Amino acid sequence: MKMECAIAGKLSSTSSYLVNTRRNGMKRTKLMANHNMFYSSKSMISLPILAHTNPSLKVVTEKLGCPADFGFGELVWPTPGDEIPFWKNKFPSRYASLEAPAEIEKDSNLMHIIHITAEMAPIAKVGGLGDVVTGLARACLSRGHTVDIMLPFYECIQKQEISDLALITTYNSYHDGNWVATNAYHGVVSSIPVIFIEPSNQFFKGKNVYGGSYNELEAYLFFSRACLEWMQVTGVQPDIIHVHEWQIGALPLLYWDMYQSLSLKKPRIVLTIHNMEHYGECRQEQLSKCGLDGSIYASVEKAIDDRTIGHNPERLSLLKGGIVYSNAVVTVSPTYLKETLCSGWLASVLITHRDKYFGILNGIDTVIWNPATDAFLPAKFHAQKPEGKKICKYYIQKGLGLKSEGTVPLVVCITRLVAQKGLHLITHTIKRAEELGGQMILLGNSPVHWVQKDFEDLANLHNKGTSTRILLMYSEELSHMLYAAADIVLVPSIYEPCGLAQMIGMRYGAVPVVRKTGGLADTVFDMDDPSNHEKANGFVFEGIDEGSLNWALDRAFRHFIGSKFCLH
């Protein structure tokens, strides 16, 4: 009954918040795809990192058949043998003090929004979740809202990336029969106020965001309650508590069945599901460790994991509980919403709560992802002055030891190496791009040991040549450079709730080749589909086999090699 009263009282403003901030504030602004171009210029352009002195530059660039003065300053290019890889050079700080665009129209109904999340770019980024949380928070700020992010204070966070970090609250929060001493810090990241929660126990200790020696599920149960406990202790009452993914799925339960009957009366809860692959499977006794009675939620109407009905023991799903108990539930594209209503273990609960379930397309932060101002690029560029993109491509080719050919299409794939991303299609593209006379760079790694090992073997096989580089790591700096260098961005996902790579690629002047699924279907429209002529901006395939991929990739190569063209 509490939920019904809450929905009646505030859901209208919650829905307004969702639509205004996600669809408009973080909308897909004019991507560079609107002026997207394949560059097949015969001239080679020197390409490199800014340096103060390089008197030989003019001679070298003229030998390459291009003018030395591109207005980018003096450049020195990297080599594979450099002691420090070019993407590890020191760059100007770009995240600590990013300002939101000033020209954004302010909302009339201003609210206080607190995002609670396991990830935030760039300080605690594993995948797209971190990018979206940061971008959405900045979009809300730009529209005049008061915004905070609450994040675990992971031991691996680089404190130098946080501005004005200070301890603001010391309090106790409950876990497994004990009250744990907890610190709350305040800092600023990418112009966003961030509250870091640091328990005195072992939670969130380790070299990485995930995969520590502690029980992760119990750590996020603790964090969910610790965030609400901090609000109660400090008297902070936001309008919206916006929780993200299964990790924070218990917070709506804690809010409505515990804290709302104490002192937190004002907030309403929004849950965004970025990927339904993980349900937050949880034993009843584990949920009880955060102070709730886990047995109360072991019903189909609440939080029982439908996959375990009839098993011994039956388990709970934190994500399902979050869906039931939140005032509004969002997923990250209209097509993914349709797909999740038709298949998957959560389809029945989503259908039951269809009236509060919204599919709103993600966007990218066009200040962070802006080739005209990107501090990581050797040369800046935009649609009206695209010469810098050629420089970026040549820079990557030189730095990674690829053959320096402007007329050869460069395919880039930046991804986590997990089954969802179409691993067999990625490995096929490595071979196919070479067969077609192109080049390919793969940047990513895998949490799955055997997948990582398979790609290590591929790297040992292909990295000795001059057409392929498989880089099994994560680098924010290198990802920016690769998007800027790419002619084609590959996203062959088996399923993709939204996807950001295709949008970032278009923003940086690359053409996407994608599989038609989820948010990829909502953002990329095939060049050769007459029904989408006005929106055409890439190449799309539907099957999950290599032949279907070839159909799209081969067409992209033909367009690149045969013409110089704009996608409108």
Please state, in angstroms and rounded to a whole number, the distance separating the CA atoms of residues 221 and 201. Answer: 14
- Give the pTM: 0.87
Angstrom distances, CA of residue 58 to CA of 68, 111, 509: 5, 55, 27
Residue burial 183-202, b: 16+ Cβ < 10 Å; e: rest: ebbbbebbbbbbbbbbbeee
pLDDT at residue 95, as a whole number: 55
Give the residue-averaged pLDDT of 510-522.
Answer: 98
> How many Å apart are CA 489 and CA 505, to the nearest integer?
6
More confident residue, 48 or 534: 534
Mind listing the pLDDT tens digit for each residue in 194-227? 999 999 999 999 999 998 899 999 999 999 999 9
Whether the predicted pLDDT of 330 surpasses 60:
yes
* pLDDT tens by residue, 407-426: 899 999 999 999 999 999 99
- pLDDT score, position 255: 98
369-566: in CATH 3.40.50.2300:
no
Give the model's confidence band at 18: pLDDT under 50 very low, under 70 low, under 90 confident, else very high: low
Tokens found for residue 298: 């072991």
Residue 297: how many other CB atoms lie within 10 Å: 25
pLDDT on residue 94: 58
The Cα 110–Cα 106 span in angstroms is 9
pLDDT in tens, 175-194: 999 999 999 999 999 999 99
Q: Where does the pLDDT of residue 14 fall: very low under 50, low under 70, confident under 90, or very high at 90 and above?
A: low
Determine contact, residues 162/149, Cβ cutoff 8 Å: no
Distance of CA 146 to the CA centre of its chain: 23
For residue 143, is pLDDT > 60?
A: yes
For range 321-349, the mean pLDDT: 97
Query: Is 54 a residue whose pLDDT tops 60?
Result: no
Q: Which of 69-83, 213-227, 398-412, 510-524 has the lowest mean pLDDT?
A: 69-83
Residue 562 tokens, joined: 């045969």
Q: 355: number of CA atoms within 13 Å, CB side?
A: 7
**Given the structure tokens 């760039």, which residue do they identify?**
122
What is the pLDDT confidence band of residue 314, given thresholds at 50, 70 and 90?
Answer: confident
The bridge status of strand 75-76 relative to strand 163-175 is unpaired
Find the helix or strand (DSSP H, E) in which 288 lies. Answer: helix 284-288
Cα R_g (the chain), whole angstroms: 24
pLDDT the model gives residue 286 = 97
- pLDDT, residue 75, reads 81
Q: How far is CA 494 from the centre of its chain?
A: 17
Cα–Cα distance, 411 to 227 (Å, whole number)? 43
Provide the pLDDT for residue 125: 93
Question: Is the predicted pLDDT of residue 558 greater than 70, yes or no?
Answer: yes
Distance of CA 370 to the CA centre of its chain: 16
pLDDT of residue 91: 84
Q: What is the pLDDT of residue 333?
A: 98
The topology (CATH level 3) of 112-359 is Rossmann fold (3.40.50)
Q: Classify 394 as helix, strand or coil.
A: helix
230 — pLDDT class (breaks 50, 70, 90): very high
Q: Do domains 112-359 and 369-566 have the same CATH topology?
A: yes
Distances (CA, A) of 492 to 130, 468, 515, 529, 539: 21, 18, 5, 19, 11
pLDDT on residue 27? 38
Is the dihedral angle over the CA atoms 281, 284, 285, 286 positive or is it negative? Answer: positive
| Spatial separation of the C-alpha atoms in residues 479 and 301, rounded to whole Å | 43
In the prediction, which pLDDT does 313 show? 82
Contact assessment for residue 480 and residue 376, using Cβ atoms and an 8 Å cutoff: yes
- Does residue 312 register a pLDDT over 80? no
For helices 449-462 and 423-435, the axis angle rounded to 10 degrees is: 10
The helix or strand, by DSSP H or E, that contains position 178, with its residue range, turns out to be strand 178-189
What number is the average pLDDT over the span 124-140?
94
What's the confidence (pLDDT) of residue 34? Answer: 34
pLDDT for 322 equals: 98
Task: Determine what percent of the chain is predicted with pLDDT higher than 90.
Answer: 78
DSSP SS3 for 43: coil
pLDDT at 61 over 90: no
Domain boundaries, the chain: 112-359, 369-566
Residue 105 has what pLDDT? 87
Q: In what order do the strands lie in the sheet with 488-491?
A: 468-471, 439-443, 410-414, 488-491, 511-515, 539-541
Q: What is the mean pLDDT of residues 484-513?
A: 98
| The residue type at 78 | P
* Alpha-carbon span 538 to 560, nearest angstrom: 12
E-strand spans in 146-238? 146-152, 163-175, 178-189, 192-199
Residue 254 half-sphere exposure toward CB, CA atoms < 13 A? 27
Answer yes or no: are the C-beta atoms of 205 and 113 closer than 8 Å.
no
pLDDT tens per residue across span 236-288: 999 999 999 999 999 999 999 999 999 999 999 999 999 999 999 999 999 99
pLDDT, position 47 = 29
Looking at the predicted structure, is the pLDDT value of residue 142 above 90? yes
Contacts of 197 (CB under 8 A, 6+ apart): 150, 151, 152, 153, 182, 183, 184, 223, 226, 227, 230
pLDDT value at 96 more than 80 = no
Residue 504 C-alpha from the chain's centroid: 10
Summarised one tens digit per residue, pLDDT across range 439-469 is 999 999 999 999 999 999 999 999 999 999 9
Q: Tokens for 30? A: 């004019």
DSSP class of 401: T
In this prediction, residues 547-563 reach a mean pLDDT of 93
